[in-house]
Amino acid sequence: MPHYICATCGTQHAETTLPPEHCDICEDERQYVGWDGQRWTTLNELRATHRVELRPEGPGLTGVGVEPGFAIQQRALHVAASTGAVLWDCVSLVDDAAVAALATLGRVRAIAISHPHYYAACVEWSRALGDVPVYLHADDRRWVRRPDRCIVHWEGERLTLAGGVMLIRCGGHFEGGTVLHWRDGADGRGALLSGDILQVSQDRKSVSFMWSFPNYVPLGATAVRRIAAAVEPLSYEQIYGAWWRRNVTADAKPAVARSVDRYLHAIAG
Protein backbone atom coordinates (compact mmCIF):
# COMPACT_ATOMS: atom_id res chain seq x y z
CA MET A 1 0.00 0.00 0.00
CA PRO A 2 1.26 3.51 -0.73
CA HIS A 3 2.35 6.08 1.82
CA TYR A 4 0.36 9.07 0.62
CA ILE A 5 1.92 12.55 0.79
CA CYS A 6 -0.18 15.64 1.43
CA ALA A 7 0.28 18.04 -1.49
CA THR A 8 -0.16 21.12 0.71
CA CYS A 9 2.18 20.45 3.65
CA GLY A 10 4.31 17.68 2.10
CA THR A 11 3.91 15.26 5.02
CA GLN A 12 4.05 11.55 4.24
CA HIS A 13 1.40 9.46 6.04
CA ALA A 14 1.18 5.84 7.17
CA GLU A 15 0.37 3.38 4.40
CA THR A 16 -3.27 3.07 3.35
CA THR A 17 -5.09 1.53 0.41
CA LEU A 18 -6.86 4.79 -0.40
CA PRO A 19 -5.76 8.36 0.31
CA PRO A 20 -6.64 9.49 3.85
CA GLU A 21 -9.73 11.65 4.24
CA HIS A 22 -7.87 14.32 6.18
CA CYS A 23 -4.41 15.70 6.85
CA ASP A 24 -4.40 16.60 10.54
CA ILE A 25 -1.37 18.85 10.11
CA CYS A 26 -3.14 20.95 7.48
CA GLU A 27 -6.40 21.06 9.44
CA ASP A 28 -4.55 22.51 12.45
CA GLU A 29 -4.97 26.30 12.69
CA ARG A 30 -1.25 26.85 12.08
CA GLN A 31 -1.57 25.43 8.57
CA TYR A 32 -4.39 25.25 6.00
CA VAL A 33 -6.10 22.90 3.57
CA GLY A 34 -5.28 23.78 -0.04
CA TRP A 35 -7.73 26.07 -1.81
CA ASP A 36 -8.67 23.24 -4.17
CA GLY A 37 -9.35 20.89 -1.27
CA GLN A 38 -7.30 18.06 0.19
CA ARG A 39 -4.99 16.56 -2.45
CA TRP A 40 -2.52 13.69 -2.25
CA THR A 41 0.44 12.35 -4.16
CA THR A 42 2.99 9.56 -3.67
CA LEU A 43 6.76 9.33 -3.71
CA ASN A 44 6.74 7.62 -7.11
CA GLU A 45 4.50 10.31 -8.57
CA LEU A 46 6.78 13.03 -7.19
CA ARG A 47 9.82 11.36 -8.69
CA ALA A 48 8.20 11.56 -12.12
CA THR A 49 7.71 15.33 -11.95
CA HIS A 50 10.26 16.68 -9.46
CA ARG A 51 13.90 16.26 -8.53
CA VAL A 52 16.11 16.76 -5.50
CA GLU A 53 18.46 19.70 -5.85
CA LEU A 54 21.62 20.25 -3.81
CA ARG A 55 23.25 23.68 -3.45
CA PRO A 56 25.97 25.09 -1.20
CA GLU A 57 24.39 27.27 1.50
CA GLY A 58 27.35 28.12 3.72
CA PRO A 59 30.60 26.76 5.16
CA GLY A 60 30.05 23.02 5.61
CA LEU A 61 26.35 23.36 4.79
CA THR A 62 24.61 22.00 1.69
CA GLY A 63 20.97 22.75 0.99
CA VAL A 64 18.65 19.91 -0.02
CA GLY A 65 15.49 21.06 -1.81
CA VAL A 66 12.82 19.93 -4.24
CA GLU A 67 12.58 21.43 -7.72
CA PRO A 68 10.20 22.65 -8.92
CA GLY A 69 8.95 23.79 -5.53
CA PHE A 70 6.59 21.47 -3.69
CA ALA A 71 4.26 21.99 -0.70
CA ILE A 72 5.81 24.46 1.80
CA GLN A 73 9.00 24.55 -0.31
CA GLN A 74 11.46 24.42 2.58
CA ARG A 75 14.96 23.10 2.04
CA ALA A 76 16.86 20.83 4.39
CA LEU A 77 20.54 21.21 5.29
CA HIS A 78 23.37 18.68 5.27
CA VAL A 79 25.65 19.62 8.18
CA ALA A 80 29.16 18.31 7.53
CA ALA A 81 30.20 17.99 11.16
CA SER A 82 33.59 16.38 11.66
CA THR A 83 32.21 13.74 14.02
CA GLY A 84 29.36 12.73 11.71
CA ALA A 85 27.08 14.59 9.35
CA VAL A 86 23.50 15.48 10.31
CA LEU A 87 20.56 16.14 8.01
CA TRP A 88 18.64 19.08 9.47
CA ASP A 89 14.94 19.32 8.59
CA CYS A 90 13.56 17.30 5.72
CA VAL A 91 11.81 17.37 2.34
CA SER A 92 9.19 15.16 0.69
CA LEU A 93 11.34 13.71 -2.09
CA VAL A 94 14.37 11.43 -1.86
CA ASP A 95 16.21 9.66 -4.66
CA ASP A 96 19.37 7.61 -5.15
CA ALA A 97 21.29 10.41 -6.87
CA ALA A 98 20.81 12.80 -3.96
CA VAL A 99 21.77 10.16 -1.40
CA ALA A 100 24.94 9.33 -3.34
CA ALA A 101 25.86 13.00 -3.66
CA LEU A 102 25.38 13.62 0.06
CA ALA A 103 27.57 10.63 0.89
CA THR A 104 30.50 12.39 -0.79
CA LEU A 105 30.01 15.33 1.59
CA GLY A 106 30.03 13.21 4.73
CA ARG A 107 27.99 10.20 5.76
CA VAL A 108 24.77 11.25 7.50
CA ARG A 109 24.58 9.74 11.00
CA ALA A 110 21.28 11.26 12.07
CA ILE A 111 18.30 13.35 10.97
CA ALA A 112 16.86 16.07 13.21
CA ILE A 113 13.76 18.14 12.45
CA SER A 114 12.67 21.49 13.82
CA HIS A 115 8.89 20.99 13.93
CA PRO A 116 6.00 18.99 12.38
CA HIS A 117 5.60 21.09 9.22
CA TYR A 118 8.97 19.72 8.07
CA TYR A 119 8.57 16.07 9.03
CA ALA A 120 7.95 15.49 5.29
CA ALA A 121 9.30 12.07 4.18
CA CYS A 122 11.70 11.64 7.10
CA VAL A 123 11.17 7.87 7.32
CA GLU A 124 12.00 7.47 3.62
CA TRP A 125 15.15 9.54 4.12
CA SER A 126 16.12 7.43 7.12
CA ARG A 127 15.80 4.25 5.05
CA ALA A 128 17.76 5.71 2.14
CA LEU A 129 20.58 6.87 4.42
CA GLY A 130 20.96 3.48 6.09
CA ASP A 131 18.23 3.48 8.75
CA VAL A 132 19.68 6.44 10.62
CA PRO A 133 17.74 7.74 13.66
CA VAL A 134 15.31 10.63 13.22
CA TYR A 135 15.23 12.95 16.25
CA LEU A 136 11.89 14.65 16.90
CA HIS A 137 11.03 16.36 20.16
CA ALA A 138 8.64 14.33 22.31
CA ASP A 139 6.37 17.35 22.86
CA ASP A 140 5.33 17.06 19.20
CA ARG A 141 4.85 13.29 19.23
CA ARG A 142 1.14 13.52 18.37
CA TRP A 143 1.88 15.14 15.00
CA VAL A 144 3.83 12.18 13.60
CA ARG A 145 1.79 10.88 10.65
CA ARG A 146 4.01 7.89 9.82
CA PRO A 147 5.21 6.22 13.03
CA ASP A 148 8.35 4.13 12.62
CA ARG A 149 11.11 2.50 14.64
CA CYS A 150 13.65 5.01 13.28
CA ILE A 151 11.98 7.90 15.13
CA VAL A 152 13.55 8.93 18.43
CA HIS A 153 11.32 11.15 20.56
CA TRP A 154 13.87 13.02 22.63
CA GLU A 155 12.89 14.87 25.79
CA GLY A 156 14.19 17.81 27.74
CA GLU A 157 15.74 21.09 26.64
CA ARG A 158 18.99 20.04 24.94
CA LEU A 159 20.37 17.00 23.16
CA THR A 160 23.92 16.57 21.84
CA LEU A 161 23.96 14.60 18.57
CA ALA A 162 27.67 14.70 17.83
CA GLY A 163 30.69 16.71 18.80
CA GLY A 164 29.68 20.35 18.45
CA VAL A 165 26.13 19.63 17.21
CA MET A 166 23.32 20.24 19.69
CA LEU A 167 19.52 20.41 19.52
CA ILE A 168 17.83 23.07 21.64
CA ARG A 169 14.12 23.05 22.38
CA CYS A 170 12.74 26.57 22.02
CA GLY A 171 9.01 25.96 21.76
CA GLY A 172 7.08 28.80 20.16
CA HIS A 173 5.68 27.83 16.77
CA PHE A 174 5.15 24.30 18.18
CA GLU A 175 5.63 23.06 21.74
CA GLY A 176 8.64 21.01 20.71
CA GLY A 177 10.01 23.64 18.31
CA THR A 178 13.73 22.97 17.98
CA VAL A 179 16.83 24.67 16.59
CA LEU A 180 20.24 23.17 15.87
CA HIS A 181 23.45 24.79 17.06
CA TRP A 182 26.65 23.85 15.23
CA ARG A 183 29.56 25.06 17.31
CA ASP A 184 32.06 24.66 14.46
CA GLY A 185 29.81 26.20 11.81
CA ALA A 186 30.56 29.52 10.09
CA ASP A 187 34.25 28.61 9.96
CA GLY A 188 34.41 28.08 13.71
CA ARG A 189 32.33 31.11 14.75
CA GLY A 190 29.15 29.08 15.25
CA ALA A 191 25.95 28.64 13.23
CA LEU A 192 22.32 28.42 14.31
CA LEU A 193 19.98 26.42 12.07
CA SER A 194 16.56 27.75 12.95
CA GLY A 195 13.95 26.33 10.57
CA ASP A 196 11.18 28.84 11.15
CA ILE A 197 11.30 28.74 14.94
CA LEU A 198 13.32 31.93 14.49
CA GLN A 199 12.14 32.98 11.05
CA VAL A 200 14.83 34.76 9.02
CA SER A 201 13.22 37.89 7.59
CA GLN A 202 13.35 39.06 4.01
CA ASP A 203 16.00 41.67 4.83
CA ARG A 204 18.26 38.81 6.02
CA LYS A 205 19.38 41.07 8.86
CA SER A 206 16.72 40.10 11.38
CA VAL A 207 14.38 37.33 12.52
CA SER A 208 10.77 37.20 13.61
CA PHE A 209 8.26 34.90 15.26
CA MET A 210 4.79 33.59 14.49
CA TRP A 211 2.41 30.98 15.87
CA SER A 212 0.96 30.60 12.36
CA PHE A 213 2.84 31.97 9.38
CA PRO A 214 0.25 31.37 6.63
CA ASN A 215 -2.64 32.57 8.81
CA TYR A 216 -0.77 35.57 10.26
CA VAL A 217 -1.19 34.72 13.94
CA PRO A 218 1.66 36.24 15.98
CA LEU A 219 3.46 34.55 18.83
CA GLY A 220 2.92 35.89 22.35
CA ALA A 221 5.53 37.74 24.36
CA THR A 222 6.11 34.93 26.86
CA ALA A 223 6.90 32.42 24.10
CA VAL A 224 9.26 34.86 22.35
CA ARG A 225 11.13 35.55 25.56
CA ARG A 226 11.49 31.81 26.06
CA ILE A 227 13.02 31.41 22.60
CA ALA A 228 15.40 34.28 23.26
CA ALA A 229 16.46 32.74 26.59
CA ALA A 230 17.03 29.32 25.00
CA VAL A 231 19.49 30.62 22.39
CA GLU A 232 21.11 33.40 24.44
CA PRO A 233 23.89 31.20 25.93
CA LEU A 234 24.96 30.02 22.46
CA SER A 235 27.76 31.50 20.38
CA TYR A 236 26.90 31.93 16.71
CA GLU A 237 27.82 34.25 13.86
CA GLN A 238 25.29 33.03 11.29
CA ILE A 239 21.66 31.84 11.16
CA TYR A 240 20.31 29.53 8.46
CA GLY A 241 16.56 29.63 7.95
CA ALA A 242 14.19 27.30 6.16
CA TRP A 243 14.43 28.41 2.52
CA TRP A 244 17.14 28.90 -0.07
CA ARG A 245 19.42 31.81 0.84
CA ARG A 246 17.18 32.91 3.75
CA ASN A 247 20.22 33.32 6.00
CA VAL A 248 21.77 35.91 8.28
CA THR A 249 25.43 35.66 7.35
CA ALA A 250 27.05 38.08 9.80
CA ASP A 251 26.48 39.37 13.36
CA ALA A 252 23.56 36.99 13.80
CA LYS A 253 23.50 36.91 17.60
CA PRO A 254 23.10 40.69 18.07
CA ALA A 255 20.59 40.61 15.21
CA VAL A 256 18.44 38.19 17.24
CA ALA A 257 18.60 40.43 20.32
CA ARG A 258 17.52 43.47 18.28
CA SER A 259 14.79 41.45 16.59
CA VAL A 260 13.37 40.25 19.90
CA ASP A 261 13.24 43.82 21.24
CA ARG A 262 11.59 45.07 18.05
CA TYR A 263 9.00 42.30 18.06
CA LEU A 264 8.07 42.75 21.74
CA HIS A 265 7.74 46.49 21.23
CA ALA A 266 5.49 45.98 18.20
CA ILE A 267 3.05 43.60 19.86
CA ALA A 268 2.96 45.63 23.09
CA GLY A 269 1.61 48.70 21.27
Superfamily (CATH) of domain 5-268:
Ribonuclease Z/Hydroxyacylglutathione hydrolase-like (3.60.15.10)
Q: How far is CA 70 from CA 5, 41, 91, 124, 229, in A?
A: 11, 11, 9, 17, 34
Q: How far apart are CA 252 and CA 241, in angstroms?
A: 12
What's the pLDDT at 29?
Answer: 97
What's the pLDDT at 108?
Answer: 97
Percent of the chain with pLDDT over 90: 98
Judging by beta carbons within 10 Å of its beta carbon (0-12, 13-18, 19+), is residue 266 exposed, middle or buried?
exposed
Q: 29-63: per-residue pLDDT in tens?
A: 999 999 999 999 999 999 999 999 999 999 999 99
Report residues of the chain scoring pLDDT below 50: none
What's the pLDDT at 162?
Answer: 83
Amino acid of residue 210: M
Q: How far apart are CA 106 and CA 83, in angstroms?
A: 10
